[in-house]
Amino acid sequence: MSSSTPGTTGKKSPGTTGKKAKAATEAKAAAPSKAASRKAATGAKAAAPSKAPKAESHLAMVRRARRINRELAEVYPYAHPELDFRNPFELLVATVLSAQTTDLRVNQTTPALFAAYPTPEDMAAAVPEEMEEIIRPTGFFRAKTKSLLGLSAALRDEFGGEVPGRLEDLVKLPGVGRKTANVVLGNAFGVPGITVDTHFGRLVRRWKWTDEEDPVKVEAVVAGIFPKSEWTMLSHRVVFHGRRICHARKPACGACPIAPLCPSYGEGETDPEKARKLLKYEMGGYPGQRLSPPADYPGKPAPALGDG
Ligand code: SF4
């Protein structure tokens, strides 16, 4: 295992160009998104760490972090929230349901839920056992039903049946923490927010942006590195990278487009061929998590519940 930092200044190593062409050819066969494949292959080939990392100044880390964000923007120009929603209420409910399960499972469950209870008023009046049956596939369905009943009653009684657009109001709702509130603010209200979930925390620690484990502290550190205008999209890009390439147990370092900028290169599989097999969702040629992905999503939509 290597833990060196091959490119803390953001410069590509010499001799990358010839390798780029070869790597791009190799990547073509592996993934449906050509741009993403090219970037992934480039990173895999450019990464050949051989020296121990030098101590990095805060300024150098900030520059490297911003470079990572720019690279990720090229790899995932289509990054987006991976929960299906049509309005702030649906996003709020979907985000509450996403605890301890995948976005895919939530997306496969919410069509029936919103057909039965389209508004906070409808949901607040639900028969608990009936709602439990609908959301059972997402796990912890009794606790989640309780949260959704409390949440929708609070929206009905305290906010006129509307989802509030302020963090301080959102976090007072039953079952809504800072992470959920930031997801809703960033994606349903256009208010910049950094969403520190398990992927985001893992990746920024691998990139040595911070050592903090506490999501609120991680959020504060990252907020100091990037301008507000980047916060929401940065969050999506980082989570996309965590789900597709930089996995918790087996990061696909050998197929990673930002390997030259990553101090943790080598924590996962470095062989390009083996690494490509670890890629997930559209990069691995599989369906995404959304049943209704945005128009620019290059992969296939996820199947409905029971369809695959
Ligand atoms: S997969 Fe993760 S750990 Fe490996 S090089 Fe890429 S960002 Fe770093």
156 and 245 both lie in a single domain: no
Cβ of residue 253 lying under 6 Å from some atom of ligand 1? yes
Ligand 1: does its nearest atom lie under 6 Å from the Cβ of 255? no
Same domain, 211 and 74: yes
Cβ–ligand 1 contact at 291 (below 6 Å): no
Examine the domain organization and report whether 202 and 139 are in the same domain.
no
- Looking at the structure of the chain, the number of domains it has is 2
Question: Could you tell me if 200 and 277 lie in one domain?
Answer: yes
108 occurs within a structural domain: yes
When pLDDT is averaged across residues 214-238 and rounded to a whole number, the result is 97
The pLDDT value recorded for residue 159 is 97
Whether 291 is in a domain gets the answer: no
Q: Do residues 107 and 67 both lie within one domain?
A: no
Structural domain including 254 reads 16-78+194-282
pLDDT tens-digit map of 239-294: 999 999 999 999 999 999 999 999 999 999 999 999 999 999 999 999 999 999 99
Cα of 9 vs centre of ligand 1, distance in Å, is: 17
Token couple for 202: 């893992």
For residue range 156-203, list pLDDT tens digits in order: 999 999 999 999 999 999 889 998 999 999 999 999 999 999 999 999
Please check whether residue 201 lies inside any domain of the structure: yes
Which of 163, 188, 213 delimits the end of a domain?
188
Do residue 265 and residue 225 come from a single domain? yes
75 CA distance to ligand 1 middle (Å): 14
For 44-96, the pLDDT digits (tens) are 444 445 344 578 999 999 999 999 999 999 999 999 999 999 999 999 999 99
Q: What is the mean pLDDT of the chain?
A: 87
Q: How many CA atoms lie within 13 A of 59 on its CB side?
A: 0
Q: Rounded to whole angstroms, how far apart are CA atoms 85 and 90?
A: 5
**Cα 74 to the chain's mean position, in Å?**
15
- Catalytic residue selected from 12, 19, 20, 197: 197
Asked if 174 and 150 count as a contact pair (C-beta separation under 8 A), the reply is yes
d(CA 208, CA 153): 42
